[in-house]
Structure 1
Amino acid sequence: MTDSLELWNAPNRMLFGWGAASELESYLETFDAERPLIVTDRGVVDAGVLDPILDAIEAAGASPEVWSGVQPDPTDEVVHEAARAYDDADADLIVGVGGGSSIDTAKAASILATNDGHILDFTGSGNVPNPTPPSVYVPTTAGTGSEVGHWTIVKDSETDVKEEIGDVELLADLALVDPELTASAPAPIKAATGMDVLTHAIEAYVSIKAQSQTSALALDAIETVGEYLPRAVAYRGGDKEALSEMSRASMEAGMAFNGAGLGAVHAISHQIGGVFGVPHGLANAIVLPYVMEYNLPQVPELMVDIAEALGEDVDRSHPAAVEGYKAVRAVCRLGDAVRIPETLSATAAERDAIPRLVEQALEDGSLTGNPRTTGADDIEAILENAFEGHLEYEDRR
C-alpha cells in the first residue's frame, strides 16, 4: 500500500516539430471529422498563421468553419459564443489555434458542446459529466502549454475573477506543436510568453505536488528557457533552433504543471489579469522573482537546482539559502534581457487594489501547490514588493 497517490495526465497524441501543421491531414482521418470548427482570434487569421492548418484540413476532405471571436482572458460570455458557433456549424471536431486564450476558449466550448448548463457550473476539478467532442489544440506562442493540459481558465464577466476548470475530458486528442507557427509573434509577446514558460516550470518544480516525472520536465524546461529565450526574442521570424527549443520547453512545462500544479505566482497573476487586463505572461514574469524570494526559505535546495539550471555558478558547499538566492537573481537578469518591466507599477495594475487582489488570490486553486504556507499578509507583502520593485539583495543586475 502506497503512502500517497500521484496523478499525471497527458494528451492522447502529441506531434512536435517544425512544419508539423502540414501533417494534420493524416491525423484528421482518425477522427472521421467532416466539419471541424476552428476557434481562434483575428490576429492569428490576419497574420496568415491559420493557412497551413486550413490547407491540411481541406486536403483531408473536410469543410472547416472558422470562429475568430476569441478575446484575451476569455470570459464566460465569449465561451458561450464559441459554443453556439460549434452548434451552428453542426461541427464534429474542435480545433483550438492560437495562444492560451484561444485554446482555453476551445476547451471550455467543448464542454458546452456535450453538457448542458453555464460554463461556470463546471468550475473545479472533475465536474464534466459527459465526454467532449474530439479535439486538436495548436499553439501559436511558446507560452502557456495549454495544449497539453487538462485545465482551462474562464473569467467570470460579473466578478472579473478567473475561474479554473479541470477535467481529463479537456485533454487534447491531438496536441500539435509546430514552432514555425510562433515565428511571426512580436518580440514583446515572445518575451512575456517565454517568461510564462519559466514560471510554469519553476512553480511545478517547487510545488508540494511535484512528482519525479514532472520535476524532470520542469528542470529541463528551466534550463532551455534560460539558454534560448533571449535568442528567440531577438530574431523576429528567425533562429529556427531557438524557436523550436522554446516550443519544446513550453510543452514540457505544460506537462509538468499539469501534474504538479502551480503556486502563488499564478494565484496572484490570475487576479491582476482578471481585474486589470494585464497579459498573463507579463504578470507572471513580473511577480515571479518576488514569490521566489518568499519561497526560498522553504525550498532552498530546489532553488539551488534552479539557479544552476539557469547557468549560475553555484557552490553546494555553501548554505543552500545563500546559493539559492542566485536563482532569484538569474530570473531578474533574464527578465531584464528580454525587457520585462521590473514592477507592477509599469503595468495597468493599480496599487490601491491590493486588498481586493489579496482576497481573490486566497481563493485561487493555484495557491494549493505553493511550497510555503501563504496567508493574506504574505500575499499583501509580495504585492507591495512587486509594485515597489523591492527585493532583498542589493544588485538586481
Structure 2
Amino acid sequence: MWNVPNRILFGWGSVTELGEYLDEFDADHPLVVTDEGVRAAGVLDPLLDAIEASGRSYTIFDGVQPDPTDVIVHEAASAYDEAGADLILGVGGGSSIDTAKAASILATNDGHILDFEGSGNVPNDPPPSVFVPTTAGTGSEVGHWTIVKDSDTSIKEEIGDVSLLADLAIVDPELTASAPAPVKAATGMDVLTHAVEAYVSIKAQSQTSALALDSIEKVGEYLPRAVEYRGEDREALSKMAKASSQAGMAFNGAGLGAVHAISHQVGGTFGVPHGLANAILLPYVMEYNLPQVPEEMVSIAAALGEDVDPSKPARTEGEKAVRAVRRLAADVRIPETLAETAAERDAIPQLAEQAIDDGSLTGNPRATDVDDLATILERAFDGRFETGA
C-alpha cells in the first residue's frame, strides 16, 4: 500500500497562497500548531499574513516540544476545542507536524491519544489539515504516521492512519532558510536516512525506490551547500526541501528499518534529537545490512557520487556507500559516535530490548534480534566498523 497527500504545493514563497486553499476547505478559524522557536523567528509571519488577508481569524498553539508527549498532544487538542477551530495547520519541524496530526485525531475521537497506537485505529476522520514544514528533514507533511512519546515510559509510540494524510502540504523552501546550520545538517541527514531505509526495505516498491534514490542523489549533492546557506543559494534549499518530501513519500510506502527502531529509543530515553540520532546511526546500520542488500548499496554509492565498478563484487563496492555517508556526515559536522551525545552506553541492553518491538524494524532487510541491535549500538558508541568502511 502506498498513500500520499491529497495535494502538495511546492515552491519558493508558496505559503502566500494559503488563503485560497482555506476557501476550498470552507475553514473559518484554523488552529496553528507550532513551537516557540518558529514563532519567535518570524517564520509564521507569511502564513499568518495570508490567513488575515483571506479575512479569517486564527488561534496559535505554540507549546510544541521536541519529541512531543501525550500531554502536549492533549494540550493542543484542548486548544483546538477552546478556539472553536475547524482546521489544523501544523507549521514547523516533525515535532510540530506530528503534534498537529495527533491533536487532529482527538478533535473527532474520544479517548487518550495512545489508545490509537498502531495502524488503522482511528475510527472518525480528523478535521481538514494543512501541514507546512520549516525544515528539510522529517517529511512528516506527506506521511500518514505520527510519533507520540508516552510521558510515563518515555517510549515513542507510532500512530498511523490514512486519514492523517494532509489535505494540503505546502512545501516552501524559503521557510527553511532561517534554520541554524546544525539543524540543517541533522535534518538533512534525516532525509538521507529516510531515503536509504526506504530503498533497502523489504517493503520497497518501484515508485518508492525511484523517489528514494533521487532523494539520496539530491542530499549528496546539495546538503553541504544548504548547511552553508547565507542568503543566496536558493537552489540548494529547494532541492533539499524536495528531497525531504520525496523521501517522506518513499518511506510512507516502503517503511523504515533498524536506524529508526534504535533512534526512537535513543531519542525517547535521552532526548537526543531525532535527526542527529539517525545521522549517527545510519552508517553503522548500513554496514550491518550490507550482506543482505549489496546491490542496493552499490546503487546508493553511485547516487552519492561514488565511482563504482560493476566488475567487482557488489559487497565490496557496496562498502563505498557506507564510506560516502560517513564523509557526508563529517562534511556537515555530524558527530561520529553516540558517545558524543547525551546517550549513555550503559543503557544499551534497555535500548536494544525496546528497539526490537519498534514498528520501524519490520522493514529492515536483514533479520535482527536483540543481540544484533545491541551490537549495532555498541559500534555506534565506540565508532567501530567491522568492514573497514
TM-score tier after normalising by the smaller chain length: over 0.9
Q: Secondary structure at the match of 2:157?
A: strand
CA distance in structure 1 between the aligned counterparts of 2:306 and 2:110, rounded to whole angstroms: 52
Q: Which residue of 1 aligns with 2:201?
A: 207
Structure 2 letter corresponding to 1:64: Y
Kindly provide the CA deviation profile for residues 232-279 of structure 1, in whole angstroms up to 9, marking residues without a partner as x. 001244310000000000000000000000000000000000000000
Structure 2 letter corresponding to 1:279: P
1:361 correspondence with 2:355 = yes
Q: Which residue of 2 aligns with 1:75?
A: 69
Structure 1 letter corresponding to 2:219: V
Q: Secondary structure at the match of 1:164?
A: strand
Q: Equivalent residues in 2 for 1:1-397 (5 A)? A: 7-394=1-388
- Matched-pair contact (CA < 8 Å) for 1:186–1:236: no
CA distance in structure 2 between the aligned counterparts of 1:237 and 1:84, rounded to whole angstroms: 39
Deviation of the 1:33 alpha carbon: 0.9
CA distance in structure 1 between the aligned counterparts of 2:28 and 2:196, rounded to whole angstroms: 41
Structure 1 unmatched runs, 5+: 1-6
- Matched-pair contact (CA < 8 Å) for 1:286–1:340: yes
Q: Which residue of 2 aligns with 1:3?
A: none
Q: TM-score, normalised by structure 2?
A: 0.99
Structure 1 letter corresponding to 2:31: L
Deviation of the 1:59 alpha carbon: 1.2
Further displaced range: 88-97 or 385-394 = 385-394
Structure 2 unmatched runs, 5+: none
What is the RMSD of the two structures over their aligned residues, measured on CA atoms? 0.7
Structure 2 letter corresponding to 1:79: V
CA distance in structure 2 between the aligned counterparts of 1:82 and 1:124, rounded to whole angstroms: 21
CA distance in structure 2 between the aligned counterparts of 1:80 and 1:53, rounded to whole angstroms: 24
Q: Secondary structure at the match of 1:87?
A: helix
- Matched-pair contact (CA < 8 Å) for 1:263–1:366: yes
CA distance in structure 2 between the aligned counterparts of 1:105 and 1:166, rounded to whole angstroms: 13
Deviation of the 1:108 alpha carbon: 0.1
Equivalenced residue count is 389
CA distance in structure 1 between the aligned counterparts of 2:386 and 2:13, rounded to whole angstroms: 45
CA distance in structure 1 between the aligned counterparts of 2:21 and 2:11, rounded to whole angstroms: 15
Structure 2 letter corresponding to 1:189: V
Kindly provide the CA deviation profile for residues 199-220 of structure 1, in whole angstroms up to 9, marking residues without a partner as x. 0000000000000000000000
- Matched-pair contact (CA < 8 Å) for 1:292–1:328: yes
Deviation of the 1:393 alpha carbon: 4.2
Deviation of the 1:62 alpha carbon: 1.1
CA distance in structure 1 between the aligned counterparts of 2:229 and 2:167, rounded to whole angstroms: 33
Structure 2 letter corresponding to 1:184: S
CA distance in structure 1 between the aligned counterparts of 2:204 and 2:252, rounded to whole angstroms: 10
- Matched-pair contact (CA < 8 Å) for 1:126–1:166: yes
